Amino acid sequence: MKVVILAGGMGTRLAEETDIRPKPMIDIGGRPILWHIMRHYAAYGLKEFVICLGYKGEYIKRYIMEHAQLSGDLTVQLGTGDVMRHGNGHRCDWTVDLVDTGLHTATAGRVKRAQHLIGNSTFMLTYGDGVSDVSIDRLLAFHRGHGKWGTLTAVRPPARFGNFRFDGDMITEFMEKPQSESGWINGGFLVLEPKIFEFISGDDVWLEHEPLETFARNRQLCAYKHEGFWQCMDTLRDKRLLEDLWNRNQAPWKVALEDEKPPRPSVAAAHAKPAVEGALV
């Protein structure tokens, strides 16, 4: 199963960082957030990626190529230029298609441009700027159990500011930036059927408008309600939060290296019942 990652936006709210590189390449713990997202899927056995490029896409191409070339131990014969690699090190056994989808193409338009690589099969889709501890096994089992055209992961975003509860003039509970208690939003981590391509007419179509709105009107869009960790990286404040969690070894999305844990079953064989039931939207 392919995992499509939208990585072409300009990230204007992070202009301090994105003037020189695309948002998916902003580092968290010394690795691009794109790497963290791919690592999460790979932990569930999904290792075939289609990255939809746009703004400064060459930066992402260069990173992927250099990651393959420079990971692990090397012996270099300077006289001949021959390079010998020793072992796999921490190289990732992933296959990555890098697709130039245009500078100003909308989100659904980018997916349409990659249709020839996705094929006529169910596929995963997410954005290149958000991390989560969502179970991909359970998400896929939920999608298959409902048999609809699409499933998105619904999340409650963290509140921007802390809040507290009162008893008269006394504060009885103080919460520093708790999770919102109302309002679900699209957190990415979608599962889609190829039916979606019928509702993408061109480059100017936004995934969040025509395709998903049409799915919803036809009662073909499910919400997998994820109560766990989710955080997008829209601002420098978000970046600092994610960096702090990683540095303190408290990043809920963190997964072990493949060679540090036993192999797990492929996600395609997942039959676990979802811990959290979703609803048609």
**198-233, pLDDT tens digit by residue?**
999 999 999 999 999 999 999 999 999 999 999 999
For β-strands 185-186 and 150-155, DSSP reports them as antiparallel
Instruction: Kindly list the distances between the CA atom of residue 222 and the CA atoms of 105, 116, 147, 241, 262, in Å, as whole numbers in the listed order.
Output: 26, 26, 9, 30, 33
Q: How crowded is the C-beta side of 191, counted as CA atoms within 13 Å?
A: 27
The answer to whether residues 184 and 225 touch, using CB atoms and an 8 Å cutoff, is yes
Amino acid 277: pLDDT: 40
**Percent of residues, the chain, with pLDDT higher than 70:** 80
Amino acid 281: pLDDT: 44
Mean of the pLDDT values across residues 123-130? 97
Name all domains of the chain by residue range, CATH numbers in brackets: 2-280 (3.90.550.10)
Amino acid 160: pLDDT: 57
Amino acid 276: pLDDT: 39
Three-state SS annotation for the chain: CEEEEEECCCCHHHHHHHCCCCHHHCEECCEEHHHHHHHHHHCCCCCEEEEEECCCHHHHHHHHHHHHHHCCEEEEECCCCEEEEECCCCCCCCEEEEEECCCCCCHHHHHHHCHHHHCCCCEEEEECCEEECCCHHHHHHHHHHHCCCEEEEEECCECCCCEEEEECCEEEEEECCCECCCCCEECCCEEECHHHHHHCCCCCCCCCCHHHHHHHHCCCEEEEEECCCEEECCCHHHHHHHHHHHHCCCCCCCCCCHHHCCCCCCHHHCCCCCCCCCEEC
Q: How crowded is the C-beta side of 195, counted as CA atoms within 13 Å?
A: 15
Amino acid 157: pLDDT: 80
Q: What is the largest CA-CA distance in the chain?
A: 80
One-letter amino acid at 130 equals G
Instruction: Kindly list the distances between the CA atom of residue 189 and the CA atoms of 38, 80, 136, in Å, as whole numbers in the listed order.
Output: 12, 46, 8
Amino acid 259: pLDDT: 41
Amino acid 169: pLDDT: 52
Question: How far is it, in rounded angstroms, from Cα 112 to Cα 127?
Answer: 15
∠ Cα 266 195 126 (to 5°): 55
Amino acid 179: pLDDT: 55
**234-264, pLDDT tens digit by residue?**
999 999 999 999 999 999 999 764 444 434 4
Amino acid 175: pLDDT: 54
